[in-house]
Structure 1
Amino acid sequence: MSDFFSSGWGIYIAVVSGVGIIWCLYLLFSQRKTNVTYEADGSVADTGHVWDEDLRELNNPLPRWWMWMFMLSCFFAIGYLVLYPGMGSYQGTLGYTTTGAHEASVTQANQQLKPIYAKYMELDVKQVAADPQAREMGQRLFLNYCAQCHGSDAGGSKGYPNLADQDWLYGGEPDNIKTTLIAGRAGVMPAFKHLEGTQIPDVANYVRSLSGLAADQLKSARGAEVFKTNCAACHGGDGKGNIAMGAPNLTDRVWLYGGSEAAIVETLNKGRNGKMPAHESILTPEKIHLLAAYVWSLSNVKDKAINKASN
């Protein structure tokens, strides 16, 4: 019922379910004593409906076996709705929830897999990354939990970082990657609506010039002062970023939201909010260890040939 905003929906569903079962029982009992009308020759009279010249609709009472099966189905439905959730917000006497069943299943699976993962917990991330079997296990974890945002090849997309290059917002060392997986990240680029006139286009051109992209020299010169006043606190005076804050390096050609002047202007005008969800409650420490090793291997130069062989 979490998808509904009012408790009235729970009452509505409970009423519909209860009235539906009661109506079925009423219909059954009201029809069980239907009298059969016979013709003079002893045959059962029809209802007057005839199809295909001689196909007559009769009005015989329900067979006893069918009636009992129908009644048992209704009683089963009542018993089920007493024991299990189904009557709106009523939880059922057994306290069953699909969430609880899922969590129990995950816990059981994690316990069964723990011995398989245990040997890798004794190794550091770089050692695990050198093991082809461990990397393959990490890749499967990545495809299950990370590929939806970063892509199956970890190449990322607009707003989702490429994990296979050397550019890291929060650092590419094993401990940085583990921290990201465990606690998540929340990257906020504020909107600079207080800038006036040509200041935003000016600083956009300056930022482009930092990475060697084509830029208007006059605008770039004016934008340098705007940058020092408004942007250097996070990105640094040289524009090389700050992994402690997740502020990107603006001097390379890696752009999370696009490096065109229009894209940078949009970023300055509207700001950006990047959210990497925490996986501590989703993945066990063993899985995080393996996943961190796989992600680290993707961007580690000396392991690129190994990764290609394992993919």
Structure 2
Amino acid sequence: MATEKLDPVTGRMTTGHEWNGIEELNTPVPRVVLFFLAATTLFAIGYWLLMPAWPLGWTYTKGLLGIDQRVVVTRQVEQAAAERAEAWTEKLVEASYSEALGDEALMRHVSETGRTLFADNCAACHGVNATGGPGFPDLTAKTWLWGGEPETLEETIRVGINSTNDDTRISQMLAFGRDGILERDQISDVVAYVRSLSGASGDQAKLSAGQEVFASNCASCHGEDAKGNRELGAPDLTDNHWIYGGDLQTVYSTVYAGRQGHMPNWGSRLAPADLKILTLYVHSLRGTAQ
């Protein structure tokens, strides 16, 4: 049975427990700890009463102050939009593209705001640096399918490509192999020829045969000189910028199975000012001009 006794050193009672000659003092909890425990408890009770805190199944306690973070954030966004409109977006909307491009102060705002708009809406496909990836064009290369003028870019962003918009741009590469339009040897020849247009080497007899296949089947869209056709969204095959890849297997797959890219239409999602900012931002991206 544990026996309490007075500790001669501290003058405090022990708990009566002993381990190998070591006795445990019955030391009270420090007052500072009790103070902070009490203060924390009071703060928690006050917070529960004043602020949204407890879940109640399909709802939650609103708190006596009635604070709603969603309302607060919405108000802040509206205020920021109003301040931005007063500062420069109204001027941007009224300006023509040539006027906006010639206004350095305005373009600084476009660069800052456009970077955020691009990251929020476009970077998922085209990458944070707009350099694209397999299936998504490099926007810094300036190899535009429909043209790189601001007005043309705005239309592309607004209506999309093969999108749900009634005025969408439409573009599709035929599946020459899968649909039996060309034989495998013909596909192999035209692939060798197309790759040679951007510097790849190949057997001369194969290239000559591929050139004939190209003239008969591909020139109607890509042009006799293979420079592309912006009316149809057909890419220039003579540069070294490939949407899906320029290696032998990828180009073969493109010709054999066809391609049909997709870009959402942003006209229904972005305000007119944001659409113009994004257009100017994409137009101003620096890359290898073609």
Moved more, 220-229 or 119-128: 119-128
**Equivalent of 2:224 in 227, 237, 253:** 237
1:298 is the counterpart of 2:274: no
- Structure 1 counterpart of 2:124: 148
Tell me the matched-pair count.
204
TM-score, normalised via structure 2 length: 0.64
Residue 123 of structure 1: CA displacement? 2.2
> What SS does structure 1 have at the residue aligned with 2:261?
strand
Query: 1:58-207 counterparts in 2 under 5 A?
Result: 112=82, 113-116=84-87, 117-129=89-101, 130=104, 131-186=107-162, 187-193=171-177, 194=180, 195-207=182-194
Structure 2, unpaired ranges of 5+: 1-55, 60-70, 163-170
Whole-angstrom CA distance in 2 between matches of 1:179 and 1:110? 27
Q: Structure 1's 124 and 227: CA in aligned 2 closer, same or farther, altered over 3 A?
A: same
Provide the C-alpha distance between the structure 1 equivalents of 2:135 and 2:119, rounded to a whole number of angstroms. Answer: 19
Seq. identity, %: 40
Distance in 2 (CA, whole Å) between partners of 1:172 and 1:232 is 22
Aligned pairs for 1:203-214 within 5 A = 203-214=190-201
* Helix, strand or coil at the partner of 2:172: strand
Give the letter for the 2:96 counterpart: D
Tell me the secondary structure at the aligned position of residue 208 of structure 1. helix
Give the Cα separation in 2 of the matches to 1:212 and 1:225: 19
**TM-score scaled by structure 1?**
0.60
2:233 matched to 1:275? no
- Which of 217, 221, 225 lines up with 2:212 in the alignment? 225
Alpha-carbon separation, structure 2, partners of 1:109 and 1:275:
35
Note the residue ranges of structure 1 that are not aligned, 5 or more in a row: 1-75, 81-100, 303-311
* Kept in 2: contact 1:174–1:292 (CA 8 A): yes
* Contact 2:219–2:226 (CA under 8 A) maintained in structure 1: yes
Runs of 4+ in 1 over 2 A off after TM superposition: 104-116, 122-131, 299-302
Measured after TM superposition, the shift of residue 231 of structure 1 is: 0.6
User: How much is the aligned-residue C-alpha RMSD, in angstroms?
Assistant: 2.6
